[in-house]
Structure 1
Amino acid sequence: MSLPRIAVDAMGGDEGVQTMISGAALARRRHDKFKFLLVGDEARIKTALDAHPQMRGASEILHCEGVVSGEEQPTRALRRAKTTSMGLAVNAVKTGDAGAAVSAGNTGALMAMSKLALRTMPGIDRPALAALLPSLGDNDVIMLDLGANTECDARNLVQFALMGAAYSRIVTGREEPRVRLLNIGTEELKGTEQLQDAAARLREATGLALSFDGFIEADKINRGSCDVVVTDGFSGNIALKAIEGAARFVTDLLRNAFTSSLRSKIGFLVSRPATELLRHHLDPNNHNGAVFLGLNGVVVKSHGSANPTGVANAVAVAARLLEDDLTQRITADLAALRETRLRSDGDQGEAA
């Protein structure tokens, strides 16, 4: 199958052009159908491509000298969208020159540019940032929103649930992903008015391609008991940073323990297969690629510190969403939700 090419913001991220091009090249080696629009300084991109000659026939370079810094305010970045690598990568999706965009740059700027250029889908009030997190289950768990919207009402949360479930069906293959709302307890009476209202709407809805399982607490996110965790961007970002911090704490604790003495070093050699598996499972590069859901186009945010493996995984996420037509899945789910509301309104009218 021939895929639309993927626009890569070659200048974004902490690790520079070499890492972005190496990541795209790794993705290309894994799947030779990938084609790229590499956006950024042409001379630096060509230098990076010298190490990956197989990329030349699969890539076009769009020269651009402007770069969005990690500290730049989104409002200022928006004004420079037509002259920066990030802005031009997103615009390529708008014009159809690319099917998706991947950037490891400033998250706020990328969201602002994506919203302005691509707009939200009909029936979606706000886009949400969703990412894959490791779990003890058979599949990763999708969590959203992770920072795009600090305050959300019940309507937003229901829309996030639909979008997350559509993404989960692509990733997990489940026809009805298990969806839960992040809360301070699992009891039905716990939580804010917005959470209570969103839960009621999801319980009442019929015909949706998801299974709403109520609430989930933060310590259960990675246990494998659900496929999609829905929350507002404020709580979601805090929970994500806590999970990432705990993962780093565990790996650093193990490293310190295994180097504390000769006996510990011998123990490390014996247990190395298990610790390597743990390290691989907790490595954020192996789960890289957050998605802005709810836009009229696919935009994927890579970790700023991602290595080539992480960038390759972000590219693979973008390609998979294109292959499985995520936007069409969300559109169909929104139609089912509207049908549920119409039936509910009709039943209330008859009762009156």
Structure 2
Amino acid sequence: MTWMVTGGAGYIGAHVVRALGEAGLDPIVLDDLSSGHHEFVPEGVPFVRGSILDGELLERTFGEHEVEGVIHVAGFKYAGVSVQRPLHTYAQNVTGTAVLLAAMSDAGVTRIVFSSSAAVYGTPDTDLVTEATPKSPESPYGESKLIGEWLLADQGRANGLAHTSLRYFNVVGSGSPEVYDTSPHNLFPLVFDALLDGRTPRINGDDYPTPDGTCVRDYIHVADLAVSHVAAARRLAAGEPIEPVYNLGSGDGVSVGEIMRTVAAVTGIGFAPEIAPRRPGDPARIVASGELAARDLDWAMRHSLTEMVQSAWQARRDA
């Protein structure tokens, strides 16, 4: 039996595909390549080019490959840009998820792991976010992810869909030299591209209510994230008890300023970052507890910040 990874040619999805293979599970990738890369898909893994908005393609693929479950990573993932493109964000993340769930129901596919986001919390009034922290998203992206969770829960009540949603924020690093973050909006590729082009990296806002004035986030290694996606899929396949949502968090977090200092140390390129205005939709601080995921999904922070930067820098430099 096979697990479909939607968005499996993207940065996160490609790592999930590799983790599935390493765990002895058979992945298949569905990706429209709007932001993914066919070369990120390992040799021998079936690849279907198409959109989660294409219900007929989804249902046909489920049948042809005897799909057992879905790890749903595909989506529009840029919080700041979603403020300017709300309808596009909802089409990709809400309508797309609804079409996917309908096709799963028609094909009798009853298990799904959903790639959600810590953006569902907005700016929480707590130093440490748990799964019970009130949800108050501050961008269309965060709203769309919360609605996605609701859709899964509703399908669970309606037809017994087995599901879980994994909430996380900044995913960095590289677990495979040939796979790296190519997003034009994420911090690491923006910083690396600037350094490789001889430009000075910049920070979006240094006047947040944080120790150094820059945003504080959970920065988690993509390979650690992939392990927990596979653990969730296995738990669903085995019919074991599982929570509807899990935070994949560091428990402490680091600031953008700390990231910049670590990048300078790892690359050997000294720089003082330029300060740009804040981005719309960016909360000052989100740091989450990963205790539940550690209990159930083999979640652990296995990489230091330096190791995250080193692996990401090597993969990007050698690309």
Q: TM-score range by the shorter chain?
A: 0.3 to 0.5
Higher relative contact order (CA 8 A, sep 6+): 1
Between Structure 1 and Structure 2, the one with more helix by share is: 1
TM-score by length of 2: 0.35
TM-score by length of 1: 0.32
